Amino acid sequence: MAEIKEIQEEIIEEFSMLDSDMEMTISYIMELGEQLPDFPEEQRTEENIVKGCQSKVWLTPELQDDQVVFQADSNTAITKGLVSLLIRVLSGQTAKNILENDIFFPEKIGMNRFIGTQRSNGFAAMIKQMKLYALAYEAKVQSGV
Amino acid sequence: METITDQHFDVQKIRAEFPVLDQKVNGHDLIYFDNAATSQKPKQVIDALTKYYEHNNSNIHRGVHTLAERATHDYEETRKAVATFINANEAEEVVFTKGTTEGLNLVAQAYGRKFLKAGDEIMVSEMEHHSNIVPWQLLCQQTGAVLKKIPITENGELDMGAFDQLINERTKIVSIVYISNSLGTINPISTIVKKAHSVGAKVVVDGAQAAPHQKLDVKTLGCDFLAFSAHKMYGPTGVGVLYGKRDVLEKMDPYQGGGEMIKEVSFDGTTYNDIPYKFEAGTPNIGDVVAFKEAIEFIQRIGHEALHTHEQKLLQVGSELLHKIEGFEPVGYAGDKASVISFNIEGVHPFDLGMFLDARGIAVRTGHHCTQPVMDRYQIDGTVRASFAVYNTKNEIEVFADALQEIIKKFKK
């Protein structure tokens, strides 16, 4: 499994070919979202929702060996694309790695509006939720449960 | 004052008065259709703000020096201009607030808490902005009063039959939006006021969206209170107006305590200042209030008639073009409507549309527009809202409709 930092650098490299064209960037993000594996219907519950002001994200974690595997979906195409990028970066990593690494790629691909000031989407809340799940798993490991 | 007649209405000249419009966003000419959230500001407003800080900045109402006198004079001149603008009896009926939201909260707390008791009823409509729901919910919690809701019809109008059923001797306050921010519906305020007054209820009007579009005349409306914001009517942010009838304002308790709102202070007891100062505790937003006068002057110079004619033309062009788009679903199509088009495109989330439009330099609002009960009523997540102002053009609407057509194709693969 590649390092979280490396995957993010890969993403930034990919997006650099789009030459900061906003429409091409979000079109590409949308296409990436379409490739996300289908989210299990039974997991589409209120409990698994990460709420934003405008878009919803469904997120589930699962511990496989010592890796945290995430599945996710969104009701908006662009958020779903961004979510697929987060899955690519964080899913399959250890809880420790998830907690220790910063997410810096959205800003570098011109999507910084999604992680700071805007309440309009579930993206920022999703990063926080992924880290919280990792924290919970890490705490379990530490306490030997 | 000379106003611009329809024949002399030159939208390009008006655009030239708004510096912000002349820019590229994401490589495209900016098209600003988020006017219902806040309008842009003409140069005369910006200049007035700069002039205030460069020449006249001073605290008001107490200083004996020249700058204090200038600042006080200009601040009070805006109050007079507002009184004339809304046809109030006197300038003292004009209270400066920080916006419509504060005006509504002020009425709820300073009037409602004093005069309402358990079992009294407050009536709002289903199309209210959250700022005309939550202050009343808080008041209900504090007093035991009950909040009643006038439902809306399928096309986005008030269900007046239901209103007639709901209003009764227990109704003490009817607080109603003049023009809905999410639907554009223009409500029959005078009719509501007459019916409400016949049972002794006070009427509060949320005029935030009406102020830039309609002639606001408190005598014709007959309302007891009217709240609106400067920033939606080409003025600065952070300034609002609460109009109240003199006898009602005088009976009310102060809203906040502090400087300015007092006559005498001692630890044995404090006496309050006269209206409107009783409601203006602390140093107000002097600079923005001063600049607000220029926004009023701007609207008066164009004239409500020319403004209305232009905006209704834009609404008509916009409605016709958007109706041709496959999957176009208008939300709110009342007969009497301001220049706001709220809609969805079948199978496309409003958020995605808003993002793609922004990539083309087109600013619209997407989401629930702080009117979640409206979204619940129509069982939708939100809408895309394009709201037009005096400086928008037919050509901008054509670009917008073409952009929508192209964007939708991306979702129909």
d(C-alpha A130, C-alpha A115), whole Å: 14
Percent of chain B with pLDDT over 90: 89
- What would the pLDDT profile of A61-83 be if each residue is shown by its tens digit? 999 999 999 999 998 999 899 99
- Which of B356, B368, B381 faces A23 most closely, judged by CB atoms? B356
Torsion of CA B243, B248, B249, B250, to 10 degrees: 150
**Summary mean pLDDT of chain B:** 95
Residue pair B325/B411 in contact by the 8 Å Cβ criterion = no
Which among B358, B366, B236, B337 has a CA at the least distance from the CA of B292?
Answer: B236
Would you mind telling me the total number of residues written for chain A in this entry? Answer: 145
pLDDT of B30 strictly over 60: yes
- pLDDT, position A123: 76
A77 interfaces chain B, CB cutoff of 8 Å: yes
* B311 dihedral zone (left: phi>0; alpha: psi -120 to 50; beta): alpha
Percent of chain A with pLDDT over 70: 90
| pTM, two decimal places | 0.93
A121 interfaces chain B, CB cutoff of 8 Å: yes
pLDDT band at B262 (very low <50, low <70, confident <90, very high): confident
Residues of B in contact with A25 (CB under 8 A): 359
Which letter does DSSP use for residue B273 in this model? P
Residues of A catalogued as catalytic: 53
Phi, psi of B175 (to 5 degrees): -120, 120
Beta carbons within 10 angstroms of residue A20's beta carbon: 12
The angle that helices B43-51 and B286-302 make with each other, rounded to 10 degrees, is 150
Residues of B in contact with A30 (CB under 8 A): 352, 410
- pLDDT, position B261: 86
- What would the pLDDT profile of B286-300 be if each residue is shown by its tens digit? 999 999 999 999 999
Which among B32, B365, B308 has a CA at the least distance from the CA of B181?
Answer: B365
Return the bridge partners of A58, or none.
Answer: A49, A73
- Which residues does A80 contact at the CB level (< 8 Å), separation at least 6? A30, A33, A34, A36, A73, A74
- Which of B27, B351, B360 faces A76 most closely, judged by CB atoms? B351
Percent of chain B with pLDDT over 70: 98
Residue pair B328/B341 in contact by the 8 Å Cβ criterion = no
∠ Cα B315 B317 B321 (to 5°)? 115
- pLDDT, position A114: 67
Residues of A in contact with B411 (CB under 8 A): 77
- Which residues does B378 contact at the CB level (< 8 Å), separation at least 6? B331
Tell me the residues of B at the A interface, defined by beta carbons under 8 Å apart.
Answer: 26-27, 348-352, 355-356, 358-360, 366-368, 381-382, 410-411
- Distance from the Cα of A121 to chain B's closest Cα (Å) equals 9
- What would the pLDDT profile of B333-379 be if each residue is shown by its tens digit? 999 999 999 999 999 999 999 999 999 999 999 988 888 999 989 99
Question: Which residue has better confidence, A116 or B397?
Answer: B397
Residue contact A22–B358, C-beta within 8 A: yes
Identity of the amino acid at B278: K
Residue contact A23–B382, C-beta within 8 A: no
d(C-alpha B20, C-alpha B43), whole Å: 9
- Which of A22, A77, A120 faces B26 most closely, judged by CB atoms? A22
How far apart, in Å, do the first and last CA atoms of chain B sit?
57
Size of interface A-B (CB pairs under 8 A): 43
Would you mind telling me the total number of residues written for chain B in this entry? Answer: 413
- What would the pLDDT profile of B217-257 be if each residue is shown by its tens digit? 999 999 999 999 999 999 999 999 999 999 999 999 999 88
- Distance from the Cα of A108 to chain B's closest Cα (Å) equals 16
Residue contact A77–B352, C-beta within 8 A: yes
- What would the pLDDT profile of B167-219 be if each residue is shown by its tens digit? 999 999 999 999 999 999 999 999 999 999 999 999 999 999 999 999 999 99
The residue of B348, B351, B412 whose CB has the most chain A CBs within 10 angstroms, and thus the best one to mutate to test that interface, is B351
A75 interfaces chain B, CB cutoff of 8 Å: yes
A21 interfaces chain B, CB cutoff of 8 Å: yes
Residue contact B355–A26, C-beta within 8 A: yes
The angle that helices A77-90 and A4-16 make with each other, rounded to 10 degrees, is 140
d(C-alpha B327, C-alpha B349), whole Å: 12
Residue contact A55–B351, C-beta within 8 A: yes
- Which of B27, B359, B367 faces A54 most closely, judged by CB atoms? B367
How far apart, in Å, do the first and last CA atoms of chain A sit?
26
Token pair for B129: 């902005």
**Residue in the structure block whose two tokens are 């007969």:** B335
- pLDDT, position A119: 58
Residues of B catalogued as catalytic: 370
Counting beta carbons within 10 angstroms of the beta carbon of residue B199, is it exposed (0 to 12), middle (13 to 18) or buried (19 or more)? middle
- What would the pLDDT profile of A119-129 be if each residue is shown by its tens digit? 556 677 888 89
- Which residues does A121 contact at the CB level (< 8 Å), separation at least 6? A52, A53, A54, A55, A76, A79, A82, A114, B351
Residues of A in contact with B348 (CB under 8 A): 77
pLDDT of B11 strictly over 70: yes
d(C-alpha B305, C-alpha A141), whole Å: 71
A22 interfaces chain B, CB cutoff of 8 Å: yes
Token pair for B158: 């008030």
Beta carbons within 10 angstroms of residue B395's beta carbon: 12
CA quadruple B101, B102, B103, B105: dihedral positive or negative? Answer: positive
- Which of B356, B358, B366 faces A54 most closely, judged by CB atoms? B366
Q: For chain A, what is the HEC assignment?
A: CCCHHHHHHHHHHHHHCCCCCHHHHHHHHHHHHHCCCCCCHHHCCHHHEEECCCCEEEEEEEEECCEEEEEEEECCHHHHHHHHHHHHHHCCEEHHHHHHCCCCHHHHCCCHHHCCCCCCCCHHHHHHHHHHHHHHHHHHHHHCC
- Distance from the Cα of B11 to chain A's closest Cα (Å) equals 30
pLDDT band at A109 (very low <50, low <70, confident <90, very high): confident
pLDDT band at B7 (very low <50, low <70, confident <90, very high): low
Residues of A in contact with B345 (CB under 8 A): none
pLDDT of B2 strictly over 50: no
Contacts 24+ apart (CB under 8 A), B25-30: B25/B358, B25/B361, B25/B363, B26/A22, B26/A23, B26/B358, B26/B359, B26/B360, B26/B361, B27/A21, B27/A22, B27/B361, B28/B360, B28/B361, B28/B362, B29/B361, B30/B361, B30/B363
Which among B8, B46, B41 has a CA at the least distance from the CA of B391?
Answer: B41
d(C-alpha B396, C-alpha B362), whole Å: 9
Q: Which of B163-172, B266-275, B324-333 has the lowest mean pLDDT?
A: B266-275
Residue contact A78–B358, C-beta within 8 A: no
Residue contact B359–A121, C-beta within 8 A: no
- pLDDT, position A120: 57
A97 interfaces chain B, CB cutoff of 8 Å: no
- pLDDT, position B1: 46
Phi, psi of A141 (to 5 degrees): -60, -45
d(C-alpha B296, C-alpha B230), whole Å: 9
